[in-house]
Amino acid sequence: MLRHLAICLALASTTPAAAAPLIELTTAGKAVQGRQLASNKDECWLVDIDGRLVQVKLASVTAFRQVTPEFKSRPIQEVKKNLAAELGTGFEVAVRGGYVVAAPRGKADQFAALFDQVSREFLQYLRVRKFAIVDPDVPLVAIVFPTRDQFLAQCAKDGVTPGAALRGYYHPHSNRVMLYDDPADNPTAGEPARSAGGRRTGGSRGPASMPSSHEANSGPIDSSTPACDTAVHEAIHQLAFNSGLHSRIGNNPLWVVEGLAMQFERGQDGYLKTRTSTRVNVPRIASWSSFQKDRQPQQGLSELIASDDSFRQSPVDTYSEAWLFTNYLIETRARKFSWYLQTLATRNPLDPYPPEERLRDFQENFKEDMVWLEIEYVRYGEKVAAEALSASELDKKR
């Protein structure tokens, strides 16, 4: 039975996500249906019709069948109805594009429009640059809580440990974005984003491990609309994990995950402008310029690519570096960066991803000497910093 099941799952895993079948696994008398996301000899991960992740231990499976030849999500209006019933009368729910957004009364349309705008512009940005992406195959859900206390209660349910500056997160297991919009709250500004405690990178991933959340950039940076900033950052995470850029259960390099989100966190079409210097995240480039003086030459990039350790050791500096390096690759090597993301996306996310393999995958896609790449990257950063910070100072004087 297990050998037959393993063969069936292997065949299913070769099917593109857009054409993947809806399968059913029965375990302990309970049937679980969904689209296969990943599997190995011990376990299988499915995405159910609501977009949630379901983990199934193959040793306990007693039956397997294909339900339909093509996976289809729950209809979006049904998702809206179910979300309204789940949250109760204190919320209103709005649908815009592929998004279903719940928020305090009077705010749902505003947030739904924002999420939809980010979705359209982010995906278009990637398509223009020939990135290999797919459209999300399930409705994307976001919940905006009216108070921080309600948000913290949701953190507890999701197993997220909130720091003082946490304003929101994307949770790969539920596939939902959670944030809050409390005018009375005054977050600690300038702290970096924090990874959730469950993230494991660079080593063996146990079969029982669960995907971690991806948390919002610290309190808002240079903005008077913190909830909107958080929504943009988390929407990018959600879109990247649902369009084939990242695996929802794999050991994704953190610099890639956070670098992409920070590339677009400015919002307001910042990434669609013409000049490179106007497409930069000014607070991030300022932070990078500050720590660049003490940066170890010809060493930082290899460490950033191979390991997530620096995010724990010096988070402010590393987040700035992750953003700038991502910006540099998109602006100067978009096609190679796209190939690299495809390599990451096509790995079996249940396999270990040690540092030497992470660095090798990067080098095989970019095929460049790391010392020379580092020199060019630093020159790029210095040039962009000079232009962007000078323009920022002029704007302040106007």
Structural domains for the chain: 2-68 (2.30.30.100), 79-397 (1.10.390)
**Alpha helices by DSSP H, the chain:** 2-13, 76-87, 108-128, 148-158, 226-242, 254-263, 282-292, 300-306, 309-313, 315-332, 334-346, 355-366, 370-397
Q: What is the CA radius of gyration of the chain?
A: 21
Higher pLDDT, 271 or 118: 118
Work out the pLDDT band at 203, boundaries 50, 70, 90: very low
Q: What is the pLDDT of residue 28?
A: 86
Question: Which pLDDT band holds residue 176 (cuts at 50, 70, 90)?
Answer: very high
Q: What is the pLDDT of residue 21?
A: 95
Mean pLDDT calculated for residue range 82-87: 98
Q: Quick one: average pLDDT of 2-31?
A: 69
pLDDT band at 112 (very low <50, low <70, confident <90, very high): very high
Q: Which of 305, 297, 284, 323 is nearest to 363 (CA)?
A: 305
Q: Would you say 79 and 100 are in contact if contact means Cβ atoms under 8 Å apart?
A: yes
Residue 271 pLDDT exceeds 80 = no
User: How would residue 8 be classed by pLDDT, with cut points 50, 70 and 90?
Assistant: low
* Average pLDDT rounded to a whole number, residues 278-306: 77
Helix axes 355-366 and 334-346, enclosed angle (nearest 10): 140
Q: What is the pLDDT of residue 290?
A: 80
Q: What is the mean pLDDT of the chain?
A: 83
Strand partners, 38: 45
- Distance in angstroms (rounded) separating the CA atoms of residues 158 and 361: 32
Q: At what angle do helices 254-263 and 315-332 cross, to 10 degrees?
A: 70
d(CA 298, CA 381): 14
Q: Taking a C-beta distance cutoff of 8 angstroms, is the pair 46, 34 a contact? A: yes
pLDDT at 200: 30
Q: 121 or 300: whose pLDDT is higher?
A: 121
Q: Closest Cα to residue 115, out of 131, 103, 98?
A: 98
- DSSP string of 67-95? EESS--PPPHHHHHHHHHHHH-TTEEEEE
Which has more confidence, 35 or 271?
Answer: 35
Cα(215)–Cα(98) distance, integer angstroms: 22
Q: Which of 2-16, 157-171, 178-192 has the lowest mean pLDDT?
A: 2-16
Please give the residue that has the higher pLDDT: either 135 or 188.
Answer: 135
The pTM of this model reads 0.84
Answer yes or no: is pLDDT of 261 > 60.
Answer: yes
Question: For residues 217 and 348, which has the higher predicted lDDT (pLDDT)?
Answer: 348
Q: Distance between CA 118 and CA 383 in Å, rounded? A: 28
pLDDT surpassing 50 at residue 144: yes
pLDDT at 196: 39
Tell me the pLDDT band of 389, cut-offs 50, 70 and 90.
Answer: confident
- pLDDT tens digits along 322-346: 999 999 999 999 999 999 999 999 8
pLDDT band at 347 (very low <50, low <70, confident <90, very high): very high
Tokens of 250: 């794999």
Above 60 in pLDDT, residue 179? yes
Using the CB atoms, write b or e for 21-42: b if 16+ within 10 Å. ebbebbeeeeebbbbbbbbbee
In terms of Cα–Cα distance, which of 102, 166, 177 is closest to 136? 177
